[in-house]
Structure 1
Amino acid sequence: MGRLGIGLQLYTLRDDMEKDMESTLRHVAKLGYEGVEFAGYYGKPADELKQLLDELGLKAFGSHVSLERFRKDLQGELDYLKTIGANYAICPYVGAEERESVDQWKALIAECQAIAVETNKQGLQFLYHNHDFEFHYKVDDEFVFDAMFAKTGEDAINVEMDVCWVQFAGQDPLAYIAKYAGRLPLLHFKDFTKDAEGKLVTLELGLGDVPLEKVIKAAEQAGVEWLVVEQDHCQKPPLTSVENSLNWVKEHYTNVHN
């Protein structure tokens, strides 16, 4: 069984990326991350970004692309991904105003399905990234999360699972990883606890409630390609937090992987 790739979701470093994208990416590469998942390109042309990534030895495996951007210029987004060498176009979020009813969810699933058909036709894969709200509604007696991925085959929407949000929603992330084995190339690898009001607090890896080592084993068995480190909100400077989380991965996984 091969070792999982270790990537970083750059949303964690959104402020640093906005200030100086190139130096931030250089820092990420120097820390030892093998790949990155984008959440915006900050005006950088695709060919220039590809050249920088190649220089740094970073693999751009995917990007979070808003539904608005998919709707406005699907082909442009896919062309950008192809140029930087990414395989995965990911819907990262659905605005609250678009998910207030079952009918809205049905429409969203149909829209994502149509995007997936075109994306997959062009040699990429369309993935959907969850939060907790996909477990707040049911469509045809199953959670929206599962309804999103009900269609299988070449035109399927595939899975980018955020284990932190799955667990926060009261579900078992290990069971869900196993359920979507073979359809789960990217796994958001996060840790969290809850505050006094029961709200989510994202933490550096190893400081929260997620059974991270069991998640890694389940991910390997499910055919996951990349563990994607992410921390939505950091209590320390984000560059420090992503370094500390990577150190946890090195200590508990990459440096001891057989």
Structure 2
Amino acid sequence: MTTRRTFLRGAAASAATVGIGAVGVGAALPGIASAHSGRSGRVPRNAISIQLYTLRGIMGDDPEPVLSALADIGYRRVEMAGLYGRSAEEMARMLRRHHLHATSTHTGLDGDLDQVIADARTLGHRYVVVPWANYSTIAQWESFADRLENAGKVLRRSGFKAGYHNHAHEFALIEGKRPFDVIASRTTARNVHFELDLYWAVVGGVDPVAFFRQHHPRVRQYHVKDRAADGGFADLGTGNIDFARIFTSTAVEEYIVENDQPADALVTAQVGYDYLRNLRW
């Protein structure tokens, strides 16, 4: 574990360099104003999570050292994205050893839903989120939304909350309609909630605050992902999305750190956790 301690010291130094607690670097994106108003607050520690997809490059066949490092950073929640060659039972034991709760998972719902439910029960999930869908016609999006609603009903009856995670393409017009509007209109708040990816919402031209107000109380989770000046991914606090402005006017149950292409996944995890812990508005 000497290596892990060395990493943590190095990550802390990196965090200091980028300025943990800053609202953002550079000008705010259009629609994401820098002026803050409304309530003051902070992100609760027990609401901070991390999407394990961020760490996929170092998980390998032995995810336990990575889970241990996340626990050392301070995480108590994680969002799953696969089992990394382990059974649900094996992964659940690893998580328990490090006092981590896999409250959420990304998975498809068109396959064996009984197995999804069984794994979710074993791993202690609360949320079961569809991470991706992409179709070329509105009819296909309507069919997907209907399947999502039906799966959400089954999951709700089994004690879980089904959700949908956006990218940017759901906000682009197809046949005069936005696919996300199709999903929202053909699913119900009772059976399907939204996990809003803040980076992809901004890339898609959507103001997260306006989105939250339109769909409240269906927005229950955020993917907190920053945007670099060149439009790429950035560690939290080093990009140009004004998270303080968003959090001033909204509140969700989970704030999930993510970076699709981290330069150093564990540094990304450390910087993201510290940013959310130190952010004030």
TM-score (norm 1): 0.85
- 1:176-255 paired onto structure 2 within 5 Å: 176-193=211-228, 195=230, 200-220=231-251, 224-234=252-262, 236-253=263-280
- 1:14-25 paired onto structure 2 within 5 Å: 14-25=56-67
Candidates 128, 132, 149, aligned match of 1:93: 132
Deviation at 1:247, TM superposition (A): 1.9
Deviation at 1:27, TM superposition (A): 0.7
The aligned residue for residue 130 of structure 1 is 166
Deviation at 1:250, TM superposition (A): 2.1
Report the Cα distance in structure 2 between the residues aligned to 1:184 and 1:80, rounded to whole angstroms: 24
SS of 2:196's equivalent?
strand
Candidates 145, 152, 157, aligned match of 1:121: 157
Deviations 1:153-211 (A, max 9, x none): 53x3211111111111111111112222222221111111353xxxx401001111211
Residue 148 of structure 1 contacts residue 157 of structure 1 at CA under 8 Å; is this kept in 2?
A: no
| One-letter code aligned to 1:6 | I
Residue 112 of structure 1 contacts residue 157 of structure 1 at CA under 8 Å; is this kept in 2?
A: yes
Report the Cα distance in structure 2 between the residues aligned to 1:38 and 1:82, rounded to whole angstroms: 13
Residue 195 of structure 2 contacts residue 222 of structure 2 at CA under 8 Å; is this kept in 1?
A: yes
SS of 2:219's equivalent?
coil
Report the Cα distance in structure 2 between the residues aligned to 1:153 and 1:210, rounded to whole angstroms: 28
Deviations 1:71-93 (A, max 9, x none): 22111011101111111111001
The aligned residue for residue 209 of structure 2 is 174
Deviations 1:118-177 (A, max 9, x none): 1112110110000001011358x65221321223353x3211111111111111111112
Deviations 1:90-129 (A, max 9, x none): 100125xxx1111211111112122112111211011000
Residue 149 of structure 1 contacts residue 158 of structure 1 at CA under 8 Å; is this kept in 2?
A: no
Residue 86 (structure 2) pairs with residue 44 (structure 1): yes
Report the Cα distance in structure 1 between the residues aligned to 2:254 and 2:67, rounded to whole angstroms: 18
Report the Cα distance in structure 2 between the residues aligned to 1:143 and 1:209, rounded to whole angstroms: 26
State which drifts further: 76-85 or 104-113: 104-113
Report the Cα distance in structure 2 between the residues aligned to 1:176 and 1:53, rounded to whole angstroms: 34
| One-letter code aligned to 1:105 | W
Q: 1:239 to 1:77 in 2, by over 3 A?
A: same
Percent identical among aligned pairs is: 27
Higher relative contact order (CA 8 A, sep 6+): 2
Report the Cα distance in structure 2 between the residues aligned to 1:180 and 1:56, rounded to whole angstroms: 35
SS of 1:185's equivalent?
strand
Q: How many residues align?
A: 238
State which drifts further: 128-137 or 175-184: 175-184
Unaligned runs of 5+ in 1: none
Report the Cα distance in structure 2 between the residues aligned to 1:7 and 1:101, rounded to whole angstroms: 34
SS of 1:149's equivalent?
helix
Report the Cα distance in structure 2 between the residues aligned to 1:138 and 1:125, rounded to whole angstroms: 28
SS of 1:137's equivalent?
coil
Q: 1:8 to 1:159 in 2, by over 3 A?
A: same
| One-letter code aligned to 1:209 | N
Deviation at 1:217, TM superposition (A): 2.5
TM-score (norm 2): 0.79
